[in-house]
Copies of this chain bind each other. A is one copy, B any other.
Amino acid sequence: MAGVDKSTVSRMLGGDKTLNIREETRQRISRAVAALGYRPNMAARSLRTARSFSLGITIASLDNPVYSAIIRGAEQGAADAGYSLLIAHMDEAAPDSRVYHRLVEQHRVDGLLVTTLRNEKEHLAALKELQAPFVLVNRKAKGVRNSVVVNDFGGAKAAVEALIRMGHRDIAHLSGNPSRYNARQRLLGYRAALEEAGIPFRPELVVEADYTPDGGERAARVLMETQSRRFTAVFAVTLVAAAGALAAFHQRGFSIPEDISVVGFHDGTVAELLYPPLTTVRVPLEEMGRFAAHALIDIIEGRRRGIAKTFEDVEVIERRSTAPLRASRNLVVRR
């Protein structure tokens, strides 16, 4: 229709820098493209170039706001570069490292964003023998250079500093499993804030909660039983753990924040749904997702060798679950 060879069209649409095309020809092609509603066929392009122009993202729990934020960012980042995002759910209970292979070997994706790493060893082994690049998102692992994380340490530190600024000194921590990167960093951030303020670290104020509401509830209960009246604030490793803790405190008749201040890690709409709305530390999850997608595409397209980045921004969002320490607190159980 434009009276030119398809190869010319291909080069023009592909933005070939070595193409010297006459303005008039370019016009004719553009008009024809518009008139025909022409879109390159991705399958043919993929076959020819041996690339799929899509990214895969492996996710363990879709309903965790942390991951939905990351996905949202990743989808944007992929779309920015003309890539699609293919989601692969991977059950944490029955993780199967073969899904990596399935996606890559079938040439469905050019690279992987991985947010799942429970059984680290097996998964890392599977990833490493993969013929495609991958970047860990919100995870770090020994021997893996490609990884994008947020400032877990700084976020935790900021949260605890905020509590200290409110006058709290007896600050407990509902921690995660310290074998995991994020939990470890947050524990270190907690300790750093205490140390800088000259508050001695008391190991008995750290109780391990997993990332579930039940875990948070149990941990809070342990804290109340072993340390009643010996803490006035709690920093929880996660929103979900914080929510569980709130429930445990409510059940014991404590008022939040009058009796105990609570801060959680990660922001999200759930934080506003809790009672009282939860003070949290917000980290740029969506931005991290977008960046990770961009970086992965850069690696795929050979513009970059690897990526190791930490998003430093942290922001404490004060809601109603925290309050200044009052001199005369009343920890008497009501009802």
| Interface status of A75 (Cβ within 8 A of chain B) | yes
25 contacts between A and B (CB under 8 A): A39-B106, A41-B106, A42-B52, A42-B107, A43-B46, A43-B50, A43-B52, A44-B47, A46-B47, A47-B47, A54-B86, A62-B62, A62-B69, A63-B72, A63-B269, A72-B89, A84-B88, A84-B108, A85-B87, A86-B87, A246-B275, A247-B277, A273-B273, A273-B274, A274-B274
Chain B residues with CB under 8 Å of A46's CB are 42-43, 46-47
Kindly identify which residue among B39, B84, B88, B107 contacts A43, using a CB–CB cutoff of 8 Å: B107
Q: Mark A26-46, 1 if CB is under 8 A from B, else 0.
A: 000000000001011111101
Cα-based distance from A37 to B131 in the complex (angstroms): 13
Please tell me the number of chain A residues within 8 Å of chain B, measured between CB atoms.
48
Closest to A249 in B: B275
| Interface status of A146 (Cβ within 8 A of chain B) | no
| Interface status of A284 (Cβ within 8 A of chain B) | no
* A250-B275, A272-B213, A274-B275 given; A41·B72 CB < 8 A: no
Closest to A88 in B: B75
Q: Which one of A88, A89, A273 has the greatest number of beta carbons of chain B within 10 Å? A: A273
In the complex, are the beta carbons of B76 and A71 less than 8 A apart? no
Interface set of A (CB-CB < 8 Å, partner B): 37, 39-44, 46-47, 50, 52, 54, 62-63, 65, 68-69, 71-72, 75-76, 84-89, 103, 105-108, 213, 240, 243-244, 246-247, 250, 268-270, 272-277
Cα-based distance from A71 to B89 in the complex (angstroms): 9
Chain B residues with CB under 8 Å of A247's CB are 273, 275, 277
Cα-based distance from A103 to B82 in the complex (angstroms): 11
Closest to A40 in B: B106
* A213-B269, A275-B274 given; A87·B89 CB < 8 A: no
Chain B residues with CB under 8 Å of A274's CB are 273-275
Cα-based distance from A107 to B68 in the complex (angstroms): 26
Chain B residues with CB under 8 Å of A65's CB are 63
Closest Cβ–Cβ distance, residue A240 to chain B (whole Å) = 7
* New A-B pairs, 14, CB < 8 Å, besides A63-B68, A75-B88: A39-B105, A39-B106, A42-B52, A42-B107, A42-B108, A46-B47, A47-B47, A62-B69, A63-B69, A84-B88, A84-B103, A85-B86, A243-B273, A244-B273
